[in-house]
């Protein structure tokens, strides 16, 4: 499409791919092509290959985002790229790149990350509003986590129920930073911010700005949180059992998997 026809739109969204924009790489031995500048996660997703993500988020109708988000905080997307361990959501592709993704070693590493997130926070799934729609819970099913191999930390966490439309539960927050990056006022001011460091890290809310948050932004905040840390008041248990996000389709089932090991999304029954 020519510049005139674009009418000022972003060329990367409308120009047909020229061969010079395409790169070849392999993921788990499967040769694929993807656009120069894409990350390994983006390239995999475009080619129907599942790489798990927790903090990264695709721009689509569901997320309401205009651009993909990759805070690079959770490391669940860890792959080996040319033999080097790296986060797939922040690593750009290169010509001839060889990516290992769905291997027993990497899947065990991912299971370990899920276990650590479970013992670090305080997760009581049966009473959680996000149960059945929670990415962390869905990954625990996918990697067949039973009892974490680590001790529970039982860390005291805060809950903020003072907001008019939202509730924030620090017991379930995995500090992914999605809310910090994505949930902003029309002027671009963040409503959620990171505070403190290390094991004292937490999310705090701008108490003034949050008062006037629109219904839409409140809903988006709940939707983009991968766990049940941001909940809309009065809406938490809206979706009945059997109709929740992962009740019928396990996480990753919207993309093909290269090995059968975890294809069924765990042994969810
Ligand atoms: S946030 Fe997810 S993992 Fe945590 S209690 Fe809720 S459903 Fe369970
Ligand atoms: S509140 Fe949710 S979106 Fe924000 S950092 Fe915690 S887990 Fe991530
Ligand atoms: S999804 Fe890549 S670091 Fe979180």
* Ligand nearest to the backbone CA of 44: 3
pLDDT tier, 9 (very low <50, low <70, confident <90, very high otherwise): very low
- Measured in Å, residue 227 CA sits from the centre of ligand 1 at 6
Q: Which of 179, 201, 206 to mutate to test the pocket of ligand 2 (most atoms within 8 A of CB)?
A: 179
Tokens linked to 234: 């009065």
- Residue-wise pLDDT for 45-102, tens only, equals 999 999 999 999 999 888 889 999 999 999 999 999 999 999 999 999 999 999 999 9
Q: Are 89 and 77 a contacting pair, CB within 8 Å? A: yes
What is the three-class DSSP state of 53? coil
Say how many C-beta atoms besides its own lie within 10 A of residue 127's C-beta: 7
Q: Which of 228, 236, 237, 251 to mutate to test the pocket of ligand 1 (most atoms within 8 A of CB)?
A: 228
Pocket of ligand 2 (CB under 6 A): 173-179, 192, 203, 225, 227, 229-230
Looking at residue 6, what is its pLDDT? 36
- Measured in Å, residue 78 CA sits from the centre of ligand 3 at 7
| Ligand 2 atom closest to the CA of 168, numbered from 1 | 1
pLDDT tier, 8 (very low <50, low <70, confident <90, very high otherwise): very low
Mean pLDDT of the chain: 88
- Residue-wise pLDDT for 95-150, tens only, equals 999 999 999 999 999 999 999 999 999 999 999 999 999 999 999 999 999 989 99
Sign (positive or negative) of CA dihedral 142, 57, 114, 236: negative
**Helical axes 135-142 vs 104-120, angle rounded to 10°:** 140
Q: Which of 74, 101, 138 to mutate to test the pocket of ligand 3 (most atoms within 8 A of CB)?
A: 74
| Ligand 3 atom closest to the CA of 75, numbered from 1 | 3
- Nearest alpha carbon to residue 182 among 87, 70, 74: 70
Q: Is 142 in the pocket of ligand 1 (CB under 6 A)?
A: no
Q: Are 106 and 78 a contacting pair, CB within 8 Å? A: yes
pLDDT tier, 7 (very low <50, low <70, confident <90, very high otherwise): very low
| Ligand 3 atom closest to the CA of 72, numbered from 1 | 3
pLDDT at 16 > cutoff 90? no
Output the pTM of the full model: 0.88
Strand partners, 69: 57
- Measured in Å, residue 25 CA sits from the centre of ligand 1 at 36
């Amino acid at each position: 499409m020519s510049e005139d026809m674009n009418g000022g739109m972003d060329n990367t969204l409308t120009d047909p791919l020229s061969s010079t924009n395409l790169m070849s790489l392999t993921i788990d031995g499967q040769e694929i092509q993807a656009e120069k500048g894409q990350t390994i996660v983006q390239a995999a997703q475009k080619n129907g290959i599942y790489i798990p993500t927790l903090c990264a988020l695709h721009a689509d109708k569901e997320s309401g985002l205009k651009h993909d988000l990759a805070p690079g905080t959770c490391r669940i997307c860890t792959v080996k790229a040319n033999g080097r361990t790296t986060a797939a959501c922040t690593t750009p592709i290169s010509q001839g790149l060889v990516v290992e993704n769905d291997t027993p070693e990497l899947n065990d590493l991912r299971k370990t990350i899920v276990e650590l997130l479970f013992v670090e926070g305080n997760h009581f799934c049966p009473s959680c509003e996000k149960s059945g729609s929670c990415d962390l819970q869905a990954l625990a099913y996918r990697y067949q986590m039973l009892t974490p191999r680590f001790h529970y930390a039982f860390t005291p966490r805060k809950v903020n129920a003072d907001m008019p439309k939202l509730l924030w539960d620090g017991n379930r927050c995995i500090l992914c930073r999605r809310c910090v990056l994505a949930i902003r006022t029309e002027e671009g001011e963040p409503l959620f911010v990171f505070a403190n460091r290390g094991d004292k890290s937490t999310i705090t809310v701008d108490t003034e700005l949050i008062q006037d948050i629109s219904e839409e932004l409140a809903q988006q905040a709940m939707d983009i949180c991968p766990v049940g840390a941001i909940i809309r008041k009065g809406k938490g248990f809206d979706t009945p059992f059997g109709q929740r996000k992962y009740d019928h389709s396990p996480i990753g089932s919207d993309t093909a998997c290269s090995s059968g090991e975890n294809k069924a999304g765990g042994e969810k029954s």
